[in-house]
Structure 1
Amino acid sequence: MSAMMTREELALALGEAARGDRAAFKRVYESTSAKLMGVCLRILQDRGLAEDVLQDIYLTVWRRADTFDPARASPITWLVTIARNRSIDRLRQSSAARLSPVPVEEAHDLADDTPLASDTVEQAEDVRRLHGCLDELDAKVAHCIRTAFMEGVTYDTLAQRESVPPGTMKSWIRRGLLRLRACLEQ
């Protein structure tokens, strides 16, 4: 397994992968697959399911690497967001399948829950605004908020990583979230 690439190296490799460079895509995979597998496992709690989702994630990355914008997010944040969303989607699918199987004959009566195009555009704008507001925060606070909410890392673990008491970490994040909300309300 390859060592984790720097942010710049990973962004460059994603750009090369977007142009069809298989070697660059392989470098992205080798550098990030362990981390993304960890995200999937944390959410799904099932290794087989996590492996399936991980494969789906990298198919998406291969097809959509051209949508990565280094001005909006770091490469690892972009990848972790895809992993998190795919894992949550799979978890919901698994739960829904267990709770309410629907016979094929009734499929035509089911509503299409695919988001409307207007909702997708609005959500993309919200994400852009969120990243813009995060960039206005102190870099350490923004990193802690991203790590806590996008990677699911606990406040206690973050406090240990940053060598601060848990109460301090909670205060940083709480104050950061208040500033974030104020920015988003503008």
Structure 2
Amino acid sequence: MKPDSHQLPDNAIGATSSQPPSDTPERVAELIHRVAQKDRRSFALLYRATAPKLLGTVLRILRDREWADDVIQDSYLKVWQKAEQFQDGKSSPITWLVSIARNSAIDELRKHPAGRTTNSNELDEMPGRQSTAQEQLEDQQAANKLNHCIDQLEKDRQDMVRLAYLNGWSREDLASQFEQPVNTVKTWLHRALKQIKRCLES
């Protein structure tokens, strides 16, 4: 769910209209450390410097701008709450931020594998809405069963299958994302699909 704007520090969302500061790793790390001290101005600067990159990551997964915007707000709320957990030597600051956004997007995809559903008010305005509602229900039931079967896979295989078959990522993109050779990705996907097929048929 999209966080209310008052849940985020003042002047964070919307700060992209100004010229972004330098987004060098050192600068971003410094801002994260200041955010850990609940520095609102640093949070706004961090958002301005890094939101476009995180939005690109989330859009690539969800393929829906409004949905991605919601996830970005939720991601930065997590950054505000968890900034003290960032460790310089463990990962680069951008990698840490992107990981939060990517995981938030994949969690959304896991919750809504068929995409976000039309709300009831919109259904009421559609001609022949009873048929449409029935079709949506059947689609959601099928999606729920598929989601259940995907959840039986190992965690990294779950994410790989969702990105490959629900969001159309190429094998090369997946290889880069999961830091594995393309042939390994193909093998993992082949085995995962066989496992999902057995689950769906059971």
TM range (shorter): 0.5 to 0.7
Report the RMSD for the aligned CA atoms in angstroms: 2.8
Could you say which residue in structure 2 is the equivalent of 1:29? 47
Identity of aligned residues (%): 41
3-state DSSP class of the match of 2:112?
helix
Q: Which amino acid aligns with 1:73?
A: S
Max radius of gyration: which structure?
Answer: 2
**Alpha-carbon deviation of 1:148?**
2.4
Aligned pairs, number: 111
Please show how residues 37-116 of structure 1 align to structure 2 within 5 Å.
37-95=55-113, 99-100=140-141
**Alpha-carbon deviation of 1:92?**
1.2
Ranges in structure 2 where 5+ consecutive residues have no aligned partner: 1-15, 118-138, 143-150, 152-172, 185-202
Ranges in structure 1 where 5+ consecutive residues have no aligned partner: 102-112, 114-144, 153-172, 178-186
**Alpha-carbon deviation of 1:99?**
2.8
Could you say which residue in structure 2 is the equivalent of 1:149? 177
Higher helix share: 1
Could you say which residue in structure 2 is the equivalent of 1:110? none
TM-score (norm 1): 0.53
**Alpha-carbon deviation of 1:100?**
3.5
